[in-house]
Amino acid sequence: DTGVSQNPRHKITKRGQNVTFRCDPISEHNRLYWYRQTLGQGPEFLTYFQNEAQLEKSRLLSDRFSAERPKGSFSTLEIQRTEQGDSAMYLCASSLFEDTEAFFGQGTRLTVV
Amino acid sequence: AQSVTQLDSHVSVSEGTPVLLRCNYSSSYSPSLFWYVQHPNKGLQLLLKYTSAATLVKGINGFEAEFKKSETSFHLTKPSAHMSDAAEYFCVVSERRQAGTALIFGKGTTLSVSS
C-alpha cells in the first residue's frame, strides 16, 4: 500500500500523559499536513511542512503540541500533558506540491480519559 | 479568510433518486474548491475540484459540481444515488496562508441512502 500511513490507529491515554503519533506520507511528497477532526465537525488545519521545514502553525496548536519532520519524510505529532479536550481524530495528509491533490491517511483516534 | 458553509447537516435519499448536497463559499479572491468524501474507517478521498477552469466539474463515481460565482455556491450533485454513496461529504476551500495554502473544511453533510 503506497498511501499515507498513520500509526497508531487508536490511542487511549490518561489525562496528563504525553502521546506521539506518526505519519508516513506518500513517497516523494514534499508537503505534509496535520489536521484535527472532532465529532460532527470537519477537519481543522493544524500545521504543515514543506520537506523538513514547518511553514505554519495554526492558533489551534497550543504550546503542548509539537510537530516534526526531521528528514523530510515521516512526521510526528506530540501532545504533552494531554487534556480531555484533545480527544479527536488526528489526520495527516501529503501532496506532491502546493495546490496538488492532498491524500489523507486514515487518522489516529485519540481518547483522553 | 476563506470559509465554506454546508447548508444541510444530513440528507436522506432513496436509492436511484438524485442527490443534492449544498455548499456556499466565502472568498475574497477566485477560490479553489473541492468536495471530499469520508467513508467510515477510511481516509478522506477527493471527489472533484474546481480551479477556475470549467465551471461544471465532473468527479469520480458519477458526482459533479457546478461553480456559480453569482450565487457563491458549489453544490454537489449525482443523478442517481447508490447505496455505496452513503458517507460524510465535505465541501472544502483552499486558503492562502503565510507560506502556501491549506484546506479549509466545512462541517460536513451526512448522506444516507435507503433501499
pLDDT (tens, 9 = 90+) of chain B, 115 residues, equals 788 999 999 999 999 999 999 999 998 777 889 999 999 878 899 999 998 778 899 999 999 999 999 999 999 999 999 999 999 999 999 887 777 778 899 999 999 999 9
Give the position of cell 479553489: B32
Determine the distance in angstroms separating the CA of A106 from the nearest CA of chain B, rounded to an integer.
4
Let me know if A33 is exposed, middle or buried by CB neighbors in 10 A (0-12, 13-18, 19+).
buried
Q: Which of A5, A7, A48 to mutate to test the interface with B (most CBs of B within 10 A)?
A: A48
Chain A residue numbers with beta carbons less than 8 Å from the beta carbon of B87 are: none
Chain A residue numbers with beta carbons less than 8 Å from the beta carbon of B41 are: 106
A31/B44 Cβ within 8 A:
no
Helix (H) or strand (E) holding B102: strand B100-105
Contacts of B21 (CB under 8 A, 6+ apart): B6, B8, B11, B35, B75, B76, B77, B89, B91, B109, B111
B46/A101 Cβ within 8 A:
yes
A45/B103 Cβ within 8 A:
yes
A50/B99 Cβ within 8 A:
yes
Let me know if A37 is exposed, middle or buried by CB neighbors in 10 A (0-12, 13-18, 19+).
buried
Q: Which amino acid is at B115?
A: S
d(CA A98, CA A53): 14
**Tell me: the pLDDT tens digits for A3-30?**
999 999 999 999 999 999 999 999 989 9
Query: CB-CB: which of A42, A56, A91 is closest to B97?
Result: A56
d(CA A6, CA A75): 10
Q: Is A86 helix (H, G, I), strand (E, B) or coil?
A: helix
Contacts of A106 (CB under 8 A, 6+ apart): A6, A9, B41, B42, B43
Chain B residue numbers with beta carbons less than 8 Å from the beta carbon of A45 are: 102-104
